Structure 1
Amino acid sequence: MTETSETSQTSQDTAVRLDITVEASQEKAFRVFTEQFDKIKPREHNLLGAPIAETVLEPRVGGSVVDRAEDGTECRWGRVLVFDPPERLVFTWDIGPDWQVASDLEHTSEVEVRFVVESENRTRVELEHRNLERHGAAWESLRDGVAADGGWPLYLQRYADLLA
């Protein structure tokens, strides 16, 4: 059983906050999220000119979040800032409101995922996509996009399905 909750957003919120509770130990919850991120990220979320073959979240500080296309091209759209198993992962969101990779890394936001123990085999996963205002003009449209059903809620549902 999984439970999902959302924090309501106002027009001034510069963050999207969601959480889901999964029936898994903290260690397993973290491992599945990081090692199977390829199965969580929707293939249709694609900035490449060819279909995505895989999405890789490199499990280390300084690693990348990268989509690799079937034709061998790559799109690096995130950078791992914190990799602290089994409690916390932080990576950048280097995609702007135009849904293209940001050329200026000063205009990127952060995604923090915390894995909070509720019991031995139950973990609350808290996702916060913050500092969205850093994206500049039209940042609200980016916030609304990642908060919509096809954004982070879809990622978390796919994640929960892997653990079910």
Structure 2
Amino acid sequence: MPDGSVRKSVTVHAPIEKAFTVFTQGMDSWWPRSHKIGQGQLKEAVLEGREGGRWYEIDADGSECEWGRVLTWKPPTLLVLAWQIDAAWRFDPQLITEVEIRFAPEGPHRTRVELEHRDLDRFGEAQDEVRAAFDSPGGWPGLLDAFAQAAAA
């Protein structure tokens, strides 16, 4: 996309409060074990529920690998995360792209979840490759599908 973003959305069969809670506090219930940057086996995906909170993995050996942090925390309607993983899938504290997730009720038991991963131009020469990865079935589309299934359960 010319603006350097990947946009995806999903309708979740859950009330907005539950959708937000499953996406944030329940991230470990739907985050794939293959989506990690540490050397060990992924034990837990963690998102700390507050502005400035950490977003990271805990591996089976107890080591932690940073993914980013919480930039905006407005339950149950808005979450903005700093994605600080570079094109080689390593944490880079100097790199910040933003993942904005908006939650909008579509009735008492349905929620529209819209995700935008923006500022992908900050990946420089790797931006097209990274955008393709985020846009692929193993990227945000698959992650949102896994989230929607967990939220509906």
Normalising TM by the smaller chain, what interval? over 0.9
- Once the two structures are TM-superposed, the CA of residue 113 in structure 1 deviates from its matched residue by 0.4
Q: TM-score, normalised by structure 2?
A: 0.94
Aligned residues between the structures: 152
- Once the two structures are TM-superposed, the CA of residue 13 in structure 1 deviates from its matched residue by 4.3
Which stretch has the larger CA shift, 81-90 or 134-143? 134-143
Query: How high is the sequence identity, in percent, across the aligned residues?
Result: 44
Which residue of structure 2 lines up, in the alignment, with residue 97 of structure 1? 87
Q: How does 1:12-91 map to 2 (within 5 A)?
A: 12-91=2-81
- Once the two structures are TM-superposed, the CA of residue 32 in structure 1 deviates from its matched residue by 1.1
1:148 to 136, 146, 151: 136
CA distance in 1, matches of 2:30, 2:110: 19
CA distance in 1, matches of 2:99, 2:88: 18
Checking the alignment, whether the CA contact within 8 Å between 1:40 and 1:156 is kept in structure 2 is no
- AA matched with 1:118: E
Q: TM-score, normalised by structure 1?
A: 0.88
- Once the two structures are TM-superposed, the CA of residue 137 in structure 1 deviates from its matched residue by 2.2
Deviations 1:83-135 (A, max 9, x none): 1000000001101112111242xx32000000011112111000100111112
Checking the alignment, whether the CA contact within 8 Å between 1:97 and 1:142 is kept in structure 2 is yes
- Once the two structures are TM-superposed, the CA of residue 40 in structure 1 deviates from its matched residue by 2.2
Give the gaps of 5 or more residues in structure 1: 1-9
Which residue of structure 2 lines up, in the alignment, with residue 3 of structure 1? none
Which stretch has the larger CA shift, 126-135 or 39-48? 39-48
Checking the alignment, whether the CA contact within 8 Å between 1:54 and 1:68 is kept in structure 2 is yes
The runs of 4+ residues in structure 1 deviating greater than 6 Å are none
Checking the alignment, whether the CA contact within 8 Å between 1:82 and 1:91 is kept in structure 2 is yes
- AA matched with 2:14: A
